Amino acid sequence: MELHGACSILALFLITLPAFAIPPVPKLHFEDKIIEDVNTVISCSFNNTNYIDVNLEIKSNATTLKNCQQKTVTETKQVSSTKKTCTVEVTRSMHKMEFICEAYLKTQSKPEKMYLQTEPEFTDCPDTLVWIEQKENSFHCKATGYPHPNVTCQKGDAKYLEGVKYKTFRYMTGTYSCIAINFDKDSRDVEVTVQYKPEVLNITMTPPLHNYGDDVTMTCEADGVPAPTYCWITASSDVHFSPDNKTITVHNMKSSHLGKYQCVASNKHGNHSREEELSREAQPTISELEVEPSTNVLQGDNLTLSCQASGFPAPTLHWIYPNAEVEISPNKSTLQIWNAKKENMGNYSCTARNKHGSAIKSWKITLEGEKNGGDRMESSITTMFTVLITISLMFCLS
């Protein structure tokens, strides 16, 4: 066979082998025309899976050809094609020379990741957290480990997931145990402080009952985080402040001190105020309970009961009386009985009340005609009998 023109050698091999099949072989391919003194191309190809690494060599008389290039093309996810091309200078001596293509295979499995189980470990979990009431807040406790640990933070029966935002309330203040769990667990304590604006709860006056000349203190009690500061708006400038401004004192109280006193509590989240009025304060006393014309009355008489009371604030009056018709004045200070009869007899009580207590005074009304009627009749008969005797004696003497 004579060599004419350019010569191309092509080896084509497709590998789709099941396990334990005959190994594939590469395929050589020459050009159609090979001509003396003209370079020709000899090719070797090998189809393989992506998990087989191939190196091709084209040899002649056990000598590996030089001036070669190898290229691998991926056709699908599982199949690729490797091709090596060598350029050869053709000489007459190469007529009927044998060429071979050797494929050096290095097979490998599909890559698989090895996962190492590791116990959980907190990498970012602050010891303290500051939350704002009514805002959305969350725990920030990050943990590593495989499988990835689940992190929860718990106080009592309340449980919260790491990274999830929750609306915050002041009762959420406290110490939480944050736990990261996979096949093992790690724990961390977190102290949560919930901050909120102040609220003035109460203004306490001491003594609660005070009058002119007394020393009176007013103490403001407020709740808030951070702890609030205090200031006062006062009815009089003649007051004394405690170092922390929670308490003010009025010495030797007089009329110029009377009026409204306002406590204002403030922190960085806002302020709140409450007002209390300083006035004369005293329990009720009933100075007099009078009955006119008398407590012993005749049937058909009219009588008036008057009740006078004092105290600060001014007390309100109430009457307790028998189940009979009476008339009470609008200010409750007088009770009138018209045309007294037996049903009106009994105990009459006046009660004075204010916020500091009460006082009561009673009077018993009796019907004189009913109580002493027999005695009067006996007296009248005796008198008439005496008159008759006197007349008889005068008649005899004359």
pLDDT at 12 over 70: no
Judge if 174 and 204 occupy the same domain.
no
Closest to 294 measured CA to CA, from 283, 302, 286: 302
Same structural domain, 56 and 143: no
Task: Supply the pLDDT for residue 23.
Answer: 67
- What is the residue range of 164's domain? 118-196
Cβ contacts of 162-169, under 8 Å, gap ≥ 24: 162/138, 163/138, 163/139, 164/138, 165/136, 165/137, 165/138, 166/136, 166/137, 166/138, 167/134, 167/135, 167/136, 168/131, 168/132, 168/133, 168/134, 168/135, 168/136, 168/137, 168/194, 169/133, 169/134, 169/194
Q: How many CA atoms lie within 13 A of 182 on its CB side?
A: 14
Helix (H) or strand (E) holding 192: strand 185-206
Give the count of domains, the chain. Answer: 4
Q: What is the DSSP string of 366-388?
A: EEHHHHHHHHHHHHHHHHHHHHH
Do 213 and 236 sit in the same domain of this protein?
Answer: yes
At which of 219, 246, 278 does a domain end? 278
Judge if 181 and 203 occupy the same domain. Answer: no
* pLDDT (mean) for 318-344: 93
Mean pLDDT, residues 304-333: 93
Read off the pLDDT band of 373 (50, 70, 90): very low
Token output for 180 = 């990261």
**Whether residues 256 and 313 fall in one domain:** no
For residue 376, is it within any domain?
Answer: no
Q: Is the pLDDT of residue 306 over 90?
A: yes
Residue 180 lies in a domain: yes
Residue 310 lies in a domain: yes
Query: Do 103 and 167 form a contact (C-beta atoms < 8 A)?
Result: no
Q: Is the pLDDT of residue 331 over 80?
A: yes
Confirm whether 153 is domain-assigned. yes
385 pLDDT more than 80:
no
Tell me what the mean pLDDT of segment 270-287 comes to.
93
Share of the chain above pLDDT 70, in %: 86
Residue 398 lies in a domain: no
Q: Beginning with the edge strand found earlier in the chain, give each strand of the sheet holding 63-64 in spatial order.
A: 63-64, 52-60, 99-107
Please name the amino acid found at residue 392: S
CB atoms within 10 A of CB 233: 11
pLDDT score of 13 more than 70? no
So what's the pLDDT on residue 370?
Answer: 52
Label residue 215 by pLDDT band (50, 70, 90): very high
**251 shares its domain with 305:** no
**Domain end point (choices 161, 196, 231):** 196
Question: Would the pLDDT of 165 be above 90?
Answer: yes
In degrees, to the nearest 5, what angle opens at C-alpha 230 toward C-alphas 270 and 260?
100
Picking from 169, 196, 223, the residue at the C-terminal end of a domain is 196
Q: Are residues 37 and 100 in the same domain?
A: yes
Evaluate if residue 20 carries a pLDDT over 50.
Answer: no
- Examine the pLDDT at 242 and tell me if it is beyond 80: yes
Shared domain for 55 and 103, answered yes or no, is yes
Q: What is the CATH number of the domain that holds 210?
A: 2.60.40.10
d(CA 77, CA 110): 11
* Tokens matching residue 266: 């403030």
Residue 334 scores a pLDDT above 90: yes
pLDDT score recorded for residue 21: 54
Q: Which residue has the tokens 């602050």?
A: 126
More confident position, 379 or 123: 123
Same structural domain, 103 and 12: yes
pLDDT in tens, 57-68: 888 888 898 899
Say if 381 falls within a structural domain.
Answer: no
The mean pLDDT value for 196-215 works out to 93
The pTM (predicted TM-score) of the whole model is: 0.55
